[in-house]
Structure 1
Amino acid sequence: MRANANKNKRRRTQFGPAKNSKQRLYGAVDLGTNNCRLLIAKPMGFGFRFTSSFSRIVRLGEGLNASGRLSDKAIDRTISALSVCAAKLKELRVVKSRSIATEACRRAENCDAFIDRIDRETGLSFETISYEEEARLALLGCQSLLTDGLPYALVFDIGGGSTELTWARRNQVNGFEILDVLSLPFGVVTLAEGCERPDIDRPEYENMVSEIASHLPPFCQRNKIHKQVGDGQVQMLGTSGTVTTLGAVHLNLPRYSRSLIDGLELDFGSLDRATQMLSRLDYKRRAEVPCIGKERAELVVPGCAILEAIRRSWPVGKLSVADRGLREGMLMELMADDGVPIVGNPAERTHLEADAKPPPNKVH
């Protein structure tokens, strides 16, 4: 797979500089196995304020496991979504942007031809990044939520085609340095495609959890994570559609609200209850749950299985939910390259008290 050789090419986009330097806008496009996402923001204080966003489920990795290639239909869906992203970047005169592709493009035989077509049809210059770079950007975008003051952090990102786990240590300047990264070949799309039907029974769910968990011991042992967890020295943070969805289910939200989810703290008991509720529902009833819908109904239970394998392996007891990650990490770097003093945005919400009781879940 190829990546842009010279990162300095990102210092100026084809759309030119903004007229007012005080209102310089920056853009970040993240193309994953399941979603295409865009964020546009401007510096604000020591963080930034979003001025525009876009997200569309494109299922770029659909059928990739079987064929090893991106399908024509998936490519067409993705190009359509990226055309919207390009139009927004141009309309708002974004001065600097970065566009990245992750697991689906890392694995696809026809990735280079796909990247070339994106360039021709949308004008966007994409780079296919490594899983190490993916983990680094996710941590950078999320680390302002690691506020417990503990020396270690276990950060995970459950994607469509893979799951990245990052083991990090707090440094002297209140940031984090990465000690190790593990990329698992399991994502919500790949697991869902491996199931014969969208309704996953308990034995099949447990098999998923066991298979995922079997890949974790070497990562745990070489970093002595169990010891640090036992000593109460580890904070866990999750950034993915799985954890944000479980947060919304836990709060019984009638519609998704980032301001209520980003920075939410969930204990493992609450996660167990939300997981059990969703796994008991068939596909049709899961699709009726607010904040899930038809496009995510078959993906949320595989995501729960990945999360459960992580939680069983490292019983920290609670985790912080991040509705942020790769795009925010890219934005921070683009702004820092321009000399903007930036440390990241605080949580969108004040986390719930440990003994707060959410309203009961109701599924009609």
Structure 2
Amino acid sequence: MVRVDAVGGRPATMQRGVVYGQTYLDLNTTPPPIAWQMLRMLRADPPGRAGGGDRKKTFNMALEQAEQLLGAALTVGPAARPLLAFYGLSQAGRAVAAAAQTVSNNEYRLEGHGIRTGEMQGVMNTGLAALTVTDQGKGSFTKLANFLGAASLPEATPIGELWGLLPDLSRFPLPGMGTMRPVSIETSPTTVRAHDVPVSIRGIPQDLAYTAPGSGGDPDVDASGYAEERQRVIAFLDRYPSLTGWEFRAPDGNPIGLHLVGNAAEVPVAWPNAGYGEAEDEVLDRHTIEYRGYQRLAFPVVGGASEPAHPFLLWWAILYALSMLARYEPKVWGSLININESPDAAAIEHCLEQALHLLPELIHRTIAAVAG
């Protein structure tokens, strides 16, 4: 089903019975007031297992608290914003858990943060990217990771490694952040479909590509170079567990079709779909996360986990760390957000601004995903 959004006049799709608005404003996402109203539409008849009883009450009050806390965060600056932003997302997590279709009535209640930071005072010298967060093995973060089938950070993980996994934070990079990024999955209506789902995976590092020499090159050298390229790309994509089952569209012994696009590379692959057993969107939903209405992303493993990262939990971990600094180390926090002195300040400001614009839609999509 297709409708035209009231803002922007562009099509937006209905998936799983939930309307996802899509606009083309500067932020390329549903504006917060519309996203919140979409969430409010869920509350009379909540999705998944939040349809009645205590789970409905939890779902509705948690969303009300999330809306009020994140709305209040818009009224304050960076000094206090992470406190309100994190607790707003934390309450939204309770709504996600209440709606989760696979979670029993004995398991959906969330208690405790489920995550902790490393030593915080040293951040004044090392920078924010070096501050670590770790799953505590129980509590809200741990449970949500389990509900979402996502990485729970069993090892101490620097904030810098998580920062680079959120595409919206790349415009103002955090000094010292990691190099891993999500990859995007692109479909093409002009690609011939067989008994598979053909896509291109974009975001592969350029240095994995083999560059053939000019005319007159040695065919044996080229064959060896392309074989090594194939193995490098396989090793890279093995870090993205949700992509499991993909196959190169080019058979062994041939170039895989890796080519440069902008600052990265992309490669054509396909997922087998014998006898068209699944609709194409169902296959894509199993292997990717729909992000902001116009991207399908796959996230790498992180934090010593075997599961992929998830944007809801990435925001949770980052905002938790910022809130802990602001609450318990105000001197350190004041130093980090001093725009005249701190190299981290612009990135932190951008992160907090993006969070308040993006989280309502991310909350909506995450609820839809777990509600089934």
Q: Which TM class, normalised by the smaller chain length?
A: under 0.3
Q: TM-score, normalised by structure 1?
A: 0.28
Q: TM-score, normalised by structure 2?
A: 0.27
Tell which has more relative contact order, 1 or 2 (C-alpha 8 A, sep 6+): 2
